[in-house]
Amino acid sequence: MASFRYGTRTARWAEVSILGSTAGKVVAVLFAGMVVTTAGIGAALTTGVVSVEPPTVESIDNEWGEVTDERTGIRTNVVVNNPNGFGVPGVVDVSYDVAMNDVAVASGSSDGLSLSSGQNELTLDTHIDNGKIPAWWASHINNGERTTVSVQPSVEAPFVSRSLPSQDRTFATDMLSSFDSTEAQSVEAGGRTLLTVSETDASWGRATESETPLSFSATVENPNDAPVRFSTLGYRVSMNDLEVANGTTDGGVEVGANSEGTIEIDSTMDNSKLDEWWVSHLRNDERTVLDVQVFAVAETDEGTQRIPLEFMSQRVEFETDILGGGGAQTTALDSENAVDFEPPTVESVERDWTATDSGTQFSNQVVVNNPNDADSALGDVSLDADYRVDLNDVTVLDDESRTDLAPGRNELAFGGEVSDPTITEWWVSHVENGERTDVTTDASVRADLGFTEVPVEVPADDRTFETDMLAGFDGAGEEVTAEGRTLATLGGTTAEWGDPTMDRTPMVVEGEVTNERSRPLTVVSFGYEVEANDVVLADNETRVGEEIPGGTTRTVDATGYLDNEQIPAWWVSHLENDERSELSVSYYVTVEMLGQQYTVELDSMSYNQTVETNAFGGS
């Protein structure tokens, strides 16, 4: 116990235990020194005729008094011991001032106190003007959520007027600690990860008496191949169900595909509402639930809806002990605003070619399931889709659409005409790739849930189909006969595609020709015909002019050409025939000996075969 000495008189102050409000919660420890002295009978005190011992303050207990919308009562109960055998007349005045972070919030006094011999219980009443709470709050925030409560006592009596040292106690809150986290979280939607959250943070700005800036942020990563967009974000901050801040962001937020981003919310608390909050805080035994909701804004047929974003929202309860100086406590609470939403899913994709009068139609039938009920906040869902299909890097479909989805199963159609030049371009790529075509799909499908756009996964369906239109060529060799005589023998013949252009596709034929006669033989030309489903792809001959001396062998090559202008017509017939073509290839050779020309069908090089494809079946 500290002591204060003046002259021969000693007054002592006691440690003050200030109790909580009507709930009886002891919430802080506050030292308040108060000195009571007497003049007694002035002349007797100064002459020493009467000898008295000074009264002492045994205890001071403070508690909240009546709490109204305008002011907060503080009741101080003081126990004073007068050790003298006689009473002290009413000549002592006691007063004190209370400040919170240098903001004067209360002032109390009691004049003309009289003390009887022995124990005396005195009651002092004062009040806090609730209008000063915003100023104190600003100081509390700007001081790192710390407040020092100071009590400045003073005493006046005959011959004595003295201010005593202030008694200070500090309490601190940590309201935002639950918002700061590096714990990994994930935002799930429809059984898949929409976003992963690596860090969340909250911080106060510089508070004034009128407002308190409060910022929230989240570091997120989008693991999807399409952006995740939030059209409009909003926030609501309440304290004990009293809304102190609300608003929306100026624009949307987008997190790019397979990239990291930051979602930020800057809010402003209206400090003019804090006097009302103060009343609720005290009436709730100095407990407050701070509820921060961050949400996306959805405009539906039923009006504006709020869809909570749980990874940026938080509910915490903080408890203070303002008069007692005890440590404040902050506890994270479970959320009461969880909303489970599911984006639509693509159940199946069916693609097909269709022959039309004008050419070829390529179409996709997409079945989409919307799991949201029509009456829910997410019942009004639309789908944005960009759909592209390439055959060996040749684009045959590039379509987009926006469709409103009904709950349950929805069938969507994408399609478009494929021009003849596009078909020809694909054929050129098919031949260049060894009669192999890779079918690739690049689909970007996004569900617009009203408050955000989320990617919709499209089943992977990249496939390959192959043909082998030269497979029927038999290079075993044969005799070239005319008028019952063997003129020459063909052997080791091969056929392969040359480098195609948009106009034609070369067919290079090469083989050994042996002149079986003693006289020179000239290979004048090779002729060829190619039909597919009665579409004539080639009907021509190639000049050779190779002379072969009698009894010798020469390697002879000739190049025929498919007319690529006929490829689109053949492709249409191929599709009309369920991707099936009857291919007919025939070759002949014209030779000259002794001035006489002979045209001979080459059976070993001529063939019929069936060509089948399943462009999206992988065969």
Question: What is the residue range of 27's domain?
Answer: 3-171
Beta bridge partners of 585: 530, 607
Q: Looking at the 3D structure of the chain, how many domains does it have?
A: 4
Which among 240, 266, 275, 18 is positioned nearest to 137, based on CA atoms?
A: 275
In the block, tokens 């790192």 appear at 144
In the block, tokens 């006094």 appear at 109
CA–CA distance, 507 with 538 (Å, rounded to integer)? 10
- ∠136-142-146 over CA atoms, to 5°? 70
Question: Is 559:499 a contact under the CB 8 Å cutoff?
Answer: no
Residue 498 confidence (pLDDT): 95
Tell whether the model's pLDDT for residue 382 goes beyond 60: yes
Instruction: Examine the fold and report which residue of 466, 500, 521 is the final residue of a domain before the chain moves on.
Output: 466
**510-531 as b/e: b if 16+ CB within 10 A:** ebebbbbbeeebebbbbbbbbb
Which among 485, 500, 566, 492 is positioned nearest to 533, based on CA atoms?
A: 566
Do residues 14 and 140 share a domain?
Answer: yes
DSSP state of 164: P
Positive or negative, the Cα torsion across 496, 497, 498, 504? positive
How large is the angle between the packed helices 567-576 and 420-432, nearest 10 degrees?
Answer: 90
Task: Give residue 122's identity as a one-letter amino acid code.
Answer: L
The lowest-confidence range among 146-155, 272-281, 445-454, 576-585 is: 445-454
Positive or negative, the Cα torsion across 397, 400, 401, 405? positive
Instruction: Examine the fold and report which residue of 137, 171, 205 is the final residue of a domain before the chain moves on.
Output: 171
The larger pLDDT score, comparing residue 87 to residue 439, is at 439
Task: Give residue 3's identity as a one-letter amino acid code.
Answer: S
Do residues 533 and 602 share a domain?
Answer: yes
CA–CA distance, 407 with 372 (Å, rounded to integer)? 6
Q: How confident is the model at residue 368 (pLDDT cuts 50, 70, 90)?
A: confident
CA–CA distance, 399 with 444 (Å, rounded to integer)? 11
The top-scoring range by mean pLDDT among 180-184, 386-390, 563-567, 613-617 is 563-567
Q: pLDDT tens-digit profile of 428-487? A: 999 999 999 998 888 888 877 666 677 777 777 788 889 999 988 877 788 999 888 999
Residue 239 confidence (pLDDT): 93
Do residues 440 and 555 share a domain?
Answer: no
Q: pLDDT tens-digit profile of 525-559? A: 999 999 999 999 999 999 999 999 999 999 999 99
Q: Does some domain include residue 182?
A: yes
Alpha helices (runs of H) in 129-266, residue ranges in sequence order: 133-142
- E strand or H helix at 432: helix 420-432
CA–CA distance, 150 with 104 (Å, rounded to integer)? 9
Tell whether the model's pLDDT for residue 561 goes beyond 80: yes
Q: Does some domain include residue 329?
A: yes
CA–CA distance, 127 with 108 (Å, rounded to integer)? 8
Do residues 17 and 163 share a domain?
Answer: yes
Residue 5 confidence (pLDDT): 28
Residue 299 confidence (pLDDT): 60
Q: Does some domain include residue 217?
A: yes
Q: Does some domain include residue 471?
A: no
Residue 379 confidence (pLDDT): 56
Alpha helices (runs of H) in 234-359, residue ranges in sequence order: 274-283
Residue 47 confidence (pLDDT): 43
Question: Is 512:490 a contact under the CB 8 Å cutoff?
Answer: yes
First to last CA, the chain: 97
**How many angstroms from the chain centroid is the CA of residue 478?**
72
Using alpha carbons, list the distances in angstroms from residue 27 to 77, 325, 409.
Answer: 17, 7, 60
Do residues 188 and 326 share a domain?
Answer: yes
Residue 36 confidence (pLDDT): 41
Question: Is 13:164 a contact under the CB 8 Å cutoff?
Answer: yes
Residue 149 confidence (pLDDT): 85
- E strand or H helix at 45: helix 42-47
Task: Give residue 462's identity as a one-letter amino acid code.
Answer: D
Residue 229 confidence (pLDDT): 76
The larger pLDDT score, comparing residue 407 to residue 130, is at 130
The lowest-confidence range among 64-73, 89-98, 259-268, 542-551 is: 89-98
DSSP state of 576: H
Arithmetic mean of pLDDT, 485-494: 91
In the block, tokens 């100086």 appear at 325
Do residues 20 and 127 share a domain?
Answer: yes
Q: Does some domain include residue 619?
A: no
Task: Give residue 75's identity as a one-letter amino acid code.
Answer: R
CA–CA distance, 564 with 538 (Å, rounded to integer)? 9
The larger pLDDT score, comparing residue 519 to residue 153, is at 519
310 three-class SS: helix
Do residues 587 and 493 share a domain?
Answer: yes
What's the longest Cα–Cα distance across the chain?
171
The larger pLDDT score, comparing residue 202 to residue 312, is at 202
Do residues 199 and 310 share a domain?
Answer: yes
Tell whether the model's pLDDT for residue 594 goes beyond 60: yes
Residue 192 confidence (pLDDT): 67
Using alpha carbons, list the distances in angstroms from residue 486 to 301, 514, 600.
Answer: 89, 11, 11
**Helices and strands in the chain: count of H runs, count of E runs:** 5, 38
CA–CA distance, 594 with 285 (Å, rounded to integer)? 125
Question: Is 340:328 a contact under the CB 8 Å cutoff?
Answer: no
Instruction: Residue 362: give its domain's CATH number.
Output: 2.60.40.10
Do residues 96 and 157 share a domain?
Answer: yes
Arithmetic mean of pLDDT, 495-520: 94
The larger pLDDT score, comparing residue 30 to residue 520, is at 520
Q: Does some domain include residue 138?
A: yes
Q: Does some domain include residue 339?
A: no
| Structural tokens at position 455 | 């990617």
Which among 315, 320, 313, 268 is positioned nearest to 295, based on CA atoms?
A: 313
Q: Does some domain include residue 277?
A: yes
The top-scoring range by mean pLDDT among 122-131, 355-364, 600-609 is 600-609
- ∠102-107-111 over CA atoms, to 5°? 145
Considering the chain, what is the average pLDDT of its residues? 80
Arithmetic mean of pLDDT, 103-119: 83
Residue 518 confidence (pLDDT): 93
240 three-class SS: coil
- E strand or H helix at 218: strand 211-222
Instruction: Examine the fold and report which residue of 425, 446, 466 is the final residue of a domain before the chain moves on.
Output: 466
| Structural tokens at position 181 | 């986290």
Do residues 165 and 186 share a domain?
Answer: no
Using alpha carbons, list the distances in angstroms from residue 226 to 261, 442, 459, 612, 613.
Answer: 14, 11, 14, 37, 33
The lowest-confidence range among 32-36, 388-392, 506-510 is: 32-36
| Structural tokens at position 66 | 């009546």
Do residues 390 and 404 share a domain?
Answer: yes
CA–CA distance, 527 with 543 (Å, rounded to integer)? 9
CA–CA distance, 402 with 381 (Å, rounded to integer)? 11
Question: Is 326:27 a contact under the CB 8 Å cutoff?
Answer: yes
Residue 348 confidence (pLDDT): 81
Dihedral class, residue 615 (left if φ above 0, else alpha if ψ from -120 to 50, else beta): alpha
The lowest-confidence range among 242-246, 274-278, 385-389 is: 385-389
Q: pLDDT tens-digit profile of 314-329? A: 888 989 888 776 667 8
Do residues 489 and 608 share a domain?
Answer: yes
260 three-class SS: strand
Q: How confident is the model at residue 507 (pLDDT cuts 50, 70, 90)?
A: very high
Q: pLDDT tens-digit profile of 160-174? A: 555 555 677 888 888
Q: pLDDT tens-digit profile of 179-237? A: 888 888 877 665 667 788 888 899 999 999 999 999 988 899 988 877 877 778 888 89
| Structural tokens at position 381 | 């869902």
Using alpha carbons, list the distances in angstroms from residue 79 to 63, 119, 121, 152.
Answer: 15, 7, 5, 18
